[in-house]
Structure 1
């Protein structure tokens, strides 16, 4: 397997370990909408994203609602939480668009970390960063009202996916995905978007959303 410039695994490994990666890793691809792994499935391995975006989501509450924890992209890693959670994936991962990734088994990952201290150190930083973000999300859920969470989510989605030439957020996410990312219901999101469209804060066209007034949205977040 060839070295990829945005592969987390390649970036943090010793040059002399590259041959081992080439022999043990395999390149995998997923179509838009494909499930990469499901919450509760046995851990088969880990994915290092080369291209495309993936939604990482989890069931929550009694009704089994879907909560989108984050969107992962080029240079990110998937499945690594499975390394420490009793050998099952604690989250699900679904391709938002066409995805290419490098896949390795848990055994190879463990031996790679023992040999490559830089990778092990980078993994610690990655876990620490994710823990911090998860704690922030929990605080947002508790302390922010739903409109603030929707505003924050829209600003974040624009940052992650960028905009098309008409100013609409890329990614072609469903309204349900946007609601799941904001930790709210489809109905509440629908009502809020209609209200903001009338006030000229956002524009909606089919599935697509555009932010028209960033300053006002940021004020709502505050």
Structure 2
């Protein structure tokens, strides 16, 4: 990791919601860092030291599930990660976090962040809402894993990635996601996802341009996501 002195107060989840009077304290306690693509920021099982706020780039939040590695969610500009495990004494991170691309972020130590929540009620409220949404998405993902076919889960994943990362000038989802990561996010093996992707291409629902995905028939692909009422 490399130190970075830049700070984006306009996009940081914490700085946007913190009291104006508290921001000098944040300035004194924050540590801005930069990582390269593929660099691990958090390792599952390590003691919780603090939380992270992304200024630019993106991160995959993942964990071991038996012998598999599953991606729980993605964190992008302005979002928080490393928050799981907060509030429990001598806790460890239940997840890992790895940069999907060159990423800059702010690190705030656990003790100062908890003190910030006690003082900044708007920030604490919005963090509670974030936890609620995070839990809802996790429960929905578990339901999909149990009840949906791989093809339907893959369709759900593709739309989620489009919503999160947007489209580039070629109308492709704007993230170079490896097939291994797509499989880990879908909750299936690499081989199964590879075959299913080819099926979607043959059915003219998507087009592949390198590692990028372009939705060709949004209506047809959307029908697959309605497998569960």
Shift of 1:207: 2.0
Contact 2:150–2:196 under 8 Å retained in 1: no
What does residue 214 of structure 1 align with? 218
Task: Give CA-to-partner distance per residue, 1:161-208, whole Å, 9 cap, x none.
Answer: 222222222211100111111111111111111112122111123322
Secondary structure (helix, strand or coil) at the match of 2:84 reads helix
Cα RMSD (Å): 1.4
1:186-201 to 2 correspondences below 5 Å: 186-201=190-205
- Determine the C-alpha separation between the residues in 2 that align with 1:170 and 1:198: 22
What does residue 34 of structure 1 align with? 39
Runs of 4+ in 1 over 3 A off after TM superposition: none
Q: 89, 93, 114: which is aligned to 1:89?
A: 93
User: Which moved further from structure 2: 180-189 or 162-171?
Assistant: 162-171
Q: 193, 206, 214: which is aligned to 1:202?
A: 206
- Determine the C-alpha separation between the residues in 2 that align with 1:144 and 1:84: 34
What does residue 28 of structure 2 align with? 23
Q: 1:68 to 1:3 in 2, by over 3 A?
A: closer
Q: 119, 126, 141: which is aligned to 2:130?
A: 126
Q: Tell me, which stretches of 5 or more residues in structure 1 are unaligned?
A: none
What does residue 74 of structure 1 align with? 77
What is the TM-score of this pair, normalised by structure 2? 0.91
What does residue 152 of structure 1 align with? 156
What is the TM-score of this pair, normalised by structure 1? 0.94
Shift of 1:84: 3.8
- Determine the C-alpha separation between the residues in 2 that align with 1:163 and 1:13: 32
- Determine the C-alpha separation between the residues in 2 that align with 1:111 and 1:146: 44
- Determine the C-alpha separation between the residues in 1 that align with 2:132 and 2:123: 14
